[in-house]
Amino acid sequence: MPDVVSFTAMENASRADYDLVFEHDMKNIQGQADRVIQWMEMMGGDSPYKISRLDHCLQTATRAQSDGADEETIVCALLHDIGDVISPANHSQAAAALLRPYVSEKNYWIVLHHGLFQGYYWMQHYDQDRNSRDALIDSPHYQACVDFCANWDQVSFDPDYKSQPLEYFIPMVRRIFARSPGANL
Ligand SMILES: [Fe+2]
Ligand SMILES: [Fe+2]
């Protein structure tokens, strides 16, 4: 098989061309966990909080594990703010999109909406409705997202909390991204 496609416009491509592209895509998917870990490492360093964004994520995930959460939920807690790296203006949606092919609808929903739900803790300082999240109160996942924020996310800015290091969570991240991704084109 050639290692470069024959076409310059997709409308002229053959099945063999797409076989080559899809083979490359599969390898790209297999490298996803490595890229996720690199993005997490990029969250270390300066932050206006008392701890780095990486340490906030580690603390959130450690609290989830301490409360007996399953592995998928722990990984979602670890990665819930990873959108800050590539799309800070909509970090919840970016993180949720990253996780969506690999996790349950419930965990996807929690990550997707956690930014709005976290507004409960800051919006009142800016004359905004801290209960804006109640527009989603009919969702079966509403309370789980409230709990995610209350118990794990909003409390995880504590420099005295002893979190597990990133290395501890890496095997979990690899297992979640080794799952067969659902098709979300
Ligand atoms: Fe967040
Ligand atoms: Fe967070």
Q: Which ligand is nearest to the CA of 61?
A: 2
Q: What is the pLDDT of residues 84-131, one digit of tens each?
A: 999 999 999 999 999 999 999 999 999 999 999 999 999 999 999 999
Do the domain assignments include residue 104? Answer: yes
Q: What is the pLDDT of residues 26-68, one digit of tens each?
A: 999 999 999 999 999 999 999 999 999 999 999 999 999 999 9
> 80 C-alpha vs ligand 1 centroid, how far in Å?
6
> 15 C-alpha vs ligand 2 centroid, how far in Å?
44
Do the domain assignments include residue 73? Answer: yes
Do the domain assignments include residue 19? Answer: yes
Residue 178, φ and ψ in degrees, nearest 5: -85, -10
pTM above 0.85, yes or no: yes
Do the domain assignments include residue 50? Answer: yes
Number of domains present in the structure of the chain: 1
CATH code, 139: 1.10.3210.10
Q: Give me the residues near ligand 2 (ion), CB cutoff below 5 Å.
A: 81, 153
Question: In angstroms, what CA-CA distances link 5 with 14, 27, 79, 151?
Answer: 9, 16, 35, 51
Q: Which is higher by pLDDT, 184 or 70? A: 70
Do the domain assignments include residue 2? Answer: no
Q: Which ligand is nearest to the CA of 91?
A: 1
Do the domain assignments include residue 99? Answer: yes
185: confidence class by pLDDT, cuts 50, 70, 90: very low
| Torsion-angle region of 45 (φ positive above 0: left; ψ -120 to 50: alpha; else: beta) | left
Q: Which ligand is nearest to the CA of 49?
A: 2
Do the domain assignments include residue 171? Answer: yes
Do the domain assignments include residue 58? Answer: yes
**By residue range, what is the domain housing residue 165?**
15-177
> 185 C-alpha vs ligand 1 centroid, how far in Å?
25
